[in-house]
Amino acid sequence: MIGLHIFHYAGFFGAQIFNTVLAILIVKRAGKLFGSYRHVMFVFTFCSMLYSAVEIIAQPVLYMKGPMFVVFLDNNVFSQGIGNVVACLHCGTFGFLISVFAAQFFYRYIALCRQSLLSYFDGYKIFLIFIPCVITYILWFELVVWGMSATMEKRIYLKDDFKNMYESDSMMISFIAPLYWNNGPNREKVWRFKDAASALVCTGIIGSLTTLICFFALRIYLKMQKEKGHMSKRTLELNRQLYIMLSIQTIVPFITMYIPVGLFIVLPFFDMGLGAYVNYPSASMSLYPAIEPLIAIYCIKDFRKTIANFFRRVRVGPNGISVYSTSGTQMAIK
C-alpha cells in the first residue's frame, strides 16, 4: 500500500500547489477575460483542493470480495466512529466534485446558448448554480450512511481477508461497504435492498451528471459552430479556448474518475472484481485534482503566457539562480 499512498501524497501536494497557482491566475488575469465565469472557475478550484484534502485525510484503500466493494481508511489517527464518518465524507466529496464540474458546463451553456437567462445569475446570484451541488453532497453522504455502513455482519464477512491481506482487524477498522446479496439456504441470491439501492442511486448520479455534461458540451459546440461567423475574433478565440479546456476536463475525469468508480460500484453486482487493478480508482482519483488545474493553465492562452513569462524571467546561471524583473533589473541569488 506504500505505492498507493505515494499517489495520495503526490496528488495532494500537486493539487494544493497547482490549484493555488490557478487561483492566483483567476484573480489576477481572469476578470476582464471571463467576467462572472471566473467565480465558477474559482469555486471549482477550491473544491478540487478540498477534495484532495479529504483524500489525504482518509487515505482510502479499496478492496472487492464477491458481491461487495470496500473503501477503508488506512489511517489510524481516528476512532472507529469518526473514521466511519470520514469515509462517508470522502464518498460525498467525490459526488460533490462531479456536480461542481457539471455546474461549470451548465454556466457555459447558459452564457452561450441561453443568454436570456443570464440575468438570473447576475452578481452573487451566480452561486445559486451550486445549490444542486450541495444537495448532491448531502444526498450522496446520506446514501452511503444508509446503505453502506460497516455493520457487524460485514465485519465478520471481511475478518479473514483483512487479517491475511492487510494484517488488520475488521472489527476495529473504519470502512464503508455495500453487500449486495447473501446466499440463501439453497445457495440462491437473497438481495439486500438498502445496500443495492444506495449503490444504484450513486451510480445513477454519476451517469446523470455525465449525461448532462455531454449534453451541455454538445450544445456549446453546435452553438459555436453556428455563431462563429457572427462573433468577433477575440470572442471566438476565447470561447474556443474555454471549450477546449472543458472538453479535455471532460475526457480526463472519464478515465481517472467516472469509469473506474463506476466499475468499482457495478462489478460486484455480477460477482466480479478488478483483480490487481482494484486500487486504480483510488490512485487515479487522488491524482485528478492535481491534473485538472494544469489543463486550465495550458488551455487558456493568457494563463499560459503569464506562466511562460514568469519562467522566462528566471535564468539558471553557473553560479546560482539569477532572477530578472520585468524592468530588466537583476537580483542574484547565490
Which cell numbers in the block locate residue 29? 488575469
Over residues 76-108, the pLDDT tens digits come to 678 888 998 999 999 999 889 889 989 988 998
Residue 222 has what pLDDT?
86
- Closest of 146, 152, 157, 140 to residue 64, by C-alpha: 157
Interacting residues of 35 by C-beta distance below 8 A, sequence separation 6+: none
CA distances 114 to 101, 216, 217, Å, are 19, 11, 14
Residue 292 to residue 297: CA distance in whole angstroms = 9
Over residues 227-262, the pLDDT tens digits come to 776 677 777 788 788 888 878 887 888 888 888 888
Residue 6 has what pLDDT?
93
Average pLDDT of span 204-218: 90
Q: Topology of domain 2-299, per CATH?
A: Rhopdopsin 7-helix transmembrane proteins (1.20.1070)
Side chain identity, residue 133:
C
For every residue of 25-37, which 3-state class applies, written as one string? Answer: HHHHHHHHHHCCH
Over residues 12-39, the pLDDT tens digits come to 999 999 999 999 999 888 766 677 888 8
